[in-house]
Copies of this chain bind each other. A is one copy, B any other.
Amino acid sequence: MSDFDEKPEQKKRVTAQMVADAAGVSRSAVSRAFTDGAYLDSEKRVRIRQVALELGYQPNALAAGLQGGRSHLVAIFVGNMRSPYDTAFVGHLVGRLNALGKWPILIDGSGAQASTAVEDVLRYPLDAMILRGGSMPEDLVLQCAKIGIPMISSGRPVDIDGVDNVCCRNADGTRSMTEFLIAQGRKKFAYISAPRAYYSSTQRRNGVVQALAQAGRELMAEEDGDFTVDGGFDAGMRLLSNHRPDALICANDATAIGALTAAKEMGWQVPDQIAIVGFDDIDMARWPSFDLTTVMNPIDRSVDAIIELLNRRLETPEKSNEMILVKTELVLRGTH
């Protein structure tokens, strides 16, 4: 019947005490073997780690986090998991956080249960909370701030104590794009926007209007999109049926791709009759079918900024709020 015993069905997690017993040392020694900079005979350290490896031991992060230090957990609230830009953004961010030894917990901000999800995740002592686009209800932001969780918002500035911001220079981007198109000889400008709730669309529109005003011009037409390809397509159809602009600036790339498709379908020659440009420089903008001229909203630089702010905030929790503005760049392809 010893066969029965041979399958211990080890379901319990291996604990430091078991390693200590197996290696003939105290539990403290095991703990020290896994903490850098702790006093421990180096030969003993390797022996302990060897035993730990054989037993499959890993320090329990829950117990360690309880200890008072950092938990290494970072929540990411992402407003729209469908948007190509946001998903690409989150992809980069996750990679960087992983490399830093931080663990990103994702919260889908588009779901109906987003508020309760945020509320519940606060049961974990988070190192930080990162907001990507979308809008987290203000009372939740305040609650996080009250609890003392560092927050970093990207894509929509949040003016609350304890919240750092990373934002791209939206107006600068569309302003220089508009100036470029004016210099190129374009005269009749139109804009496809996004709902007012999207902060960045308004900013981008401002840039266009400012550059036009500087040149003594103004928008000849305007339509409402919704940051999606379908929305851009519909808005493009409506706009190009009623007006004949020679430059169409869109609130983002998805909108521009939709509008570009609509224009081609209606028989417009791009870029001969009309320039159509977007904002963001998502992967699809580069696809040969679109070859979209656009304003780059640099993901890598924004993520760098987030990581930088995160490190600074963890270093000095009481520091004053910061806002890092990320520069845009014109990406000149085939639609201007």
Contact = CB atoms under 8 A, between A and B. Distances in A.
A38 interface: no
A82 B64 CA distance: 34
B111 A98 contact: yes
Interface stretch (A20-28, A116-124, A305-313): A116-124
B108 A105 contact: no
A216 B290 CA distance: 40
Contact of A98 (B113, B123, B143): B113
Q: How many copies does the complex hold?
A: 2
A108 B98 contact: yes
A82 B123 contact: no
A288 B261 contact: yes
Nearest to A265: B288
Nearest to A100: B113
Interface stretch (A40-48, A88-96, A129-137, A269-277): A88-96
Interface string A277-289: 0000001100111
A257 interface: yes
A: contact size bracket: 35 or more
A61 to B, nearest CB: 4
Contact of A62 (B124, B229, B233, B265): B124
A247 to B, nearest CB: 21
A103 interface: yes
Given A82-B283, A98-B113, A257-B289, 11 more contacts: A59-B123, A60-B125, A62-B66, A63-B66, A66-B66, A81-B91, A84-B84, A87-B88, A91-B108, A98-B107, A98-B111
| Cβ-closest 9 pairs across A and B | A81-B91, A61-B123, A95-B108, A87-B87, A98-B117, A261-B288, A61-B124, A261-B289, A94-B106
